[in-house]
Structure 1
């Protein structure tokens, strides 16, 4: 398992994540941001890696953080943290609660919880709109400082829009080498259509020395 901000904390990429953390914390304008949706316009733009490193850099401040893999169509977090995916969010949504549903990760003095997606269900969008999902998020709000939700790409499914409606903020990860302008515009439009609190863009895979992640405010 490799997490940039933990295993290479002095890198330019790690510093960019710390900047992202600061921008999130100083952009709430009096509103307490706890639930953050991370999505992208297209597949393979790096949203899952961004989600994991953002969760870890928040946890480095001593915050209690849970990362939820709500991409139940093409889940990735269990691969990144090298855990099995036999239980997780889909099982919880089906009422099949398990004590080992949440993975508790510890790196020296940094603690981070990860709820993987669980087995891929046939109807993920319907499950995300259920009252059970509301209960899960409500429980997380009561027990965590930050809830980071890794969601499917906006142009591939409605899942990110569904969760953006109940989130405090939404970040859009963009692979600057492959994402087209019209795709970015359409992704933003879909967030606006559901009244999402669009926080900004995370520009990914820029050639800035060894830096692979860079953040700037899109507003």
Structure 2
């Protein structure tokens, strides 16, 4: 089997989906804006079709890429999984184009951002509008719901509010507050200047806050 074929990648994906958090926060994960020597070496091996390098790439970054995509597609797990697979397949096939002028995760997130944009453009789709009333359960005599239900509702309402934002606002907020990326790295992912990203974040926070409050009050 061609180790860089979609079928091989799907086999790899299914075998190593469960990741431990220590992989995601290994030394150097958040330091610097250029590829580390280890990342450069990994991509060199990947460009030479080393299947062990492909497995290492997926094990090390799949969870973060999936999380980033998940928040961009309204928490639809199936879509997030499909787009994550597409992202890594594109990375495997395009490894020879990695120049090392950004961190490896930044490069992967940039690919993912393009896949997300393609996802919404395909079949002329737009992020679904979530009716405001969907976030207000039917009247109940129980005024003290379990805490986990309240937390779940808040998460769903946050997700609904994110979906109402323009795509570049949503991307900036997820990268900054979910992935905790510095502005300079977000600029690399979004292919914008740091000053532009700062402006986007300011506007995105204001719009998100207003949207969330309107949902809460309606």
TM-score, normalising length from structure 2?
0.28
- Larger relative contact order, structure 1 or 2 (CA cutoff 8 Å, min sep 6): 1
Q: Which of the pair has more CA radius of gyration? A: 2
The structure with the greater share of residues assigned to strand is 1
The structure with the greater share of residues assigned to helix is 2
